[in-house]
Amino acid sequence: MRQTIKNYTMKPLFLLFIGLLSLQMTAQDSGKSKQLLDEVSHTIENYNNIILTFDYALDNDQEKIHQKTGGKIYVKGDKYHLNFMGTDRISDGNRIYNIIHEDEEVYISDANEESNGFTPASILHFYKKGFHYTWGKLQAVEGVKVQYIKLKPIKEDDIAYIMLGIDTNTKHIHSITYHDKRNTKVSIRIRTFKPNENLSPKEFTFDSAKYKAKNYSITEL
């Protein structure tokens, strides 16, 4: 069950990650949806880096899975550091370091050869396959005006649809709700969004000596 939950978890997170970095790749729709996505893309592209915290919820009534937690992501170019569910996932742009603290294990893989299907590169390729876009409702959420856009895959996919919420004032991503065809819903709500922070390069660097000193098992895949 733990592996199942992780599989449910990672894909929406990387959809969010790619949304922050490369939303322009998905904005191939005409009309209002494309215009708003272009504005979000332009806003994000002008940031040197981003730090965000988020709430995460996974629900599948049929499987009786209900989970809530939170996380934090640091993003700079093609580098990122995700802290989520007791795991640190660091990418320096070339390699990915999955640090599983509970098991005291580190798995190292090539950023371009990740096999689980949830890497930024693979999600970017996935996005290129295209979506139909539907202009959704404008709603007030805790005092924030949020415009929703529904993204539905053009071709057959495990994804039923994705509901993307955009803060109309800041042009930041407010939320992503991912619905698959197994009746699983994963919701990611951005809580804090901090651009252009003074980030240390160490944030995207794996310190092997640190984890060797802790007797973590380090495996290169």
pLDDT band at 15 (very low <50, low <70, confident <90, very high): low
Average pLDDT of the chain is: 80
Q: Which fold has domain 50-220?
A: outer membrane lipoprotein receptor (LolB), chain A (2.50.20)
3-state SS track over 2-68: HHHHHHHHHHHHHHHHHHHHHHHHCCCCCCHHHHHHHHHHHHHHCCCCEEEEEEEEEEECCCCEEEE
pLDDT score of 4 more than 50: no
- Rounded to an integer, the average pLDDT of 52-69 is 91
Q: Does the structure show a pLDDT above 90 at 124?
A: no
Q: What is the mean pLDDT of residues 44-53?
A: 87
